[in-house]
């Protein structure tokens, strides 16, 4: 049985799943504080791979889809929307970057537009409750009467 606690960084395999959860040797890391710590210390290496770097400790990790996920959405069409990522950071939603991926999962750009992030189910449902259908188009109302179309993601 893997030690899915603080020493999870010492295991053979650390993975960030599509479901927004951390895994140690394929066992979920149940300790929320450890999962939050990991989420705050993900970096992309010079080779394009993902690393978990905490102090002097470094471990290559596997990222199933995106290294960060949208864990919360706040706001409304009149005031605009704010997203919170699993690392605790908050930023204005870049509505122009919204797109649907495989399985109709919603994605957007975040972290100063440098990263593609996946919406978890709850925040996706929260945001999409504001969306209007216009034929085969999906439009998100925004401040000033703007309606932003959400398109399919060419990356899938």
pLDDT tens digits, residue range 86-125? Answer: 999 999 999 999 999 999 999 999 999 999 999 999 999 9
pLDDT tens digits, residue range 63-74? Answer: 999 999 999 999
Q: What is the pTM of this model?
A: 0.89
Instruction: For residue 121, give Cα distances in angstroms to 9, 11, 18, 141.
Output: 27, 29, 11, 20
All structural domains of the chain with their residue ranges: 6-63, 69-149
> How many residues belong to the chain?
156
Q: Which pLDDT value is given to residue 56? A: 87
* CATH code of domain 6-63: 3.10.540.10
Q: Where are the beta strands (DSSP E) in 39-89?
A: 42-44, 50-54, 57-63, 69-76, 80-85
């Amino acid at each position: 049985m893997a030690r899915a606690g603080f020493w999870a960084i010492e295991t053979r395999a650390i993975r960030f799943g599509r479901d927004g959860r951390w895994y140690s040797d394929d066992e979920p890391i149940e300790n929320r504080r450890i999962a939050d710590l990991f989420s705050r210390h993900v970096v992309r290496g010079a080779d394009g791979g993902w690393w978990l770097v905490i102090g002097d400790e470094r471990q290559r990790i596997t990222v199933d889809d995106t290294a960060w996920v949208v864990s919360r959405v706040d706001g409304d069409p009149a005031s605009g929307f704010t997203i919170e990522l699993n690392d605790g950071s908050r930023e204005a939603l870049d509505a122009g970057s919204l797109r649907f991926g495989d399985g109709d999962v919603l994605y957007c750009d975040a972290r100063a537009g440098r990263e593609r992030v996946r919406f978890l189910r709850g925040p996706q449902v929260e945001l999409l409750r504001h969306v209007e259908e216009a034929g085969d188009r999906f439009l998100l109302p925004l401040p000033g009467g703007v309606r932003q179309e959400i398109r399919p993601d060419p990356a899938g």
